Amino acid sequence: MAVLALDGVIPFDLSTPIEVFTRTRLPSGRPAYRVRVCAAAEEVDAGAFSLRAPWPLAELAEADTIIVPGTADPTAPVPQEVLDALRQAAARGTRIASVCVGAFVLASTGSVLEPLMRWMEDNARPELALDDLARQSGMSVRTLNRRFREQTGTSPLQWLHRARIRQAQHLLETTAHSVERIAAQVGFGSPTAFRERFKRLTGTSPRAYRRTFQTQKSL
């Protein structure tokens, strides 16, 4: 398994698949996956810090599964060599999945309905439903679910929830807005629903996340 680290990679998105899959064990106790972090460059900008991936981009050719984490600016251009490597992997039948806005990287390869994801991010209102997404994409609900899951590894609504939480993380990091205000800004109908979803996806509460980020920033 390969995890692709691009410039601007979101540390949380990068660390989650590494943590999950390196800890997975077979009944015998042996590791279930050999996880390799790959990058196109020797050094990767991860925002608050830089990292050096131990494996080059060419390692993607050996992987049976590729995970693409999100980046801080999902609209940033993707290096051509990365696009070529992902297209070649898809042509070989490699399983490719994204974490949250990492789907925009896959969209750049022509693998996903990129306009729909951008529309989802721009219209993440509380009442947004699957029927709205199907109507926007021009597909039936069944076809949308199938094609979206094939290309991103998740359902449209699950992707939308993750996109909302990523927007919330950004607001918690960069503003002093209350949790209640942020919940409304990113499209949750109630602060309670927002807190529950945030903890389910990040493992911590919005307030604890903000405190941790502010502590790290002050170091």
Q: Domain residues of the chain, as ranges?
A: 1-111, 162-218
> What pLDDT sits at residue 196?
94
> What pLDDT sits at residue 217?
56
- Tell which CATH architecture fits domain 1-111: 3-Layer(aba) Sandwich (3.40)
DSSP string, 14-83: HHHHHHHHHS-B-TTSSBS---EEEESSSSEE-SSSEE--SEEGGGGGG-SEEEE--BS-TTSPPPHHHH
> What pLDDT sits at residue 111?
58
CATH 1.10.10.60 is right for the domain spanning 162-218: yes
Are 1-111 and 162-218 equal in CATH topology?
no
> What pLDDT sits at residue 121?
79
Q: At what angle do helices 156-174 and 114-122 cross, to 10 degrees?
A: 50
> What pLDDT sits at residue 193?
92
> What pLDDT sits at residue 119?
84
Of 74, 72, 103, 70, whose CA–CA distance to 8 is shortest?
A: 72
> What pLDDT sits at residue 216?
57
What 8-state DSSP symbol labels residue 100?
G
> What pLDDT sits at residue 194?
94
Q: Which residues of 98-112 are buried (b: 16+ CB within 10 A; e: fewer)?
A: bbbbbbbbbbbbebb
Q: Which residues of 164-203 are buried (b: 16+ CB within 10 A; e: fewer)?
A: bbbbbbebbeeeeeebeebbebbbbeebeebbebbeebbe
> What pLDDT sits at residue 206?
94
> What pLDDT sits at residue 137?
81
Q: For the chain, give me the number of helices (H) and strands (E)? A: 10, 7
- Counting Cα atoms < 13 Å in the Cβ hemisphere of 99 gives 26
Q: Mean pLDDT by 10-residue block, N- to C-terminus, for the chain (219 residues)?
A: 92 90 88 91 87 91 90 85 88 80 80 74 80 87 84 82 87 91 91 93 90 66
Distance of CA 43 to the CA centre of its chain: 21
Is the distance from CB of 166 to CB of 101 less than 8 angstroms?
Answer: yes
Q: If you search the block for the tokens 């984490």, which residue do you land on?
A: 69
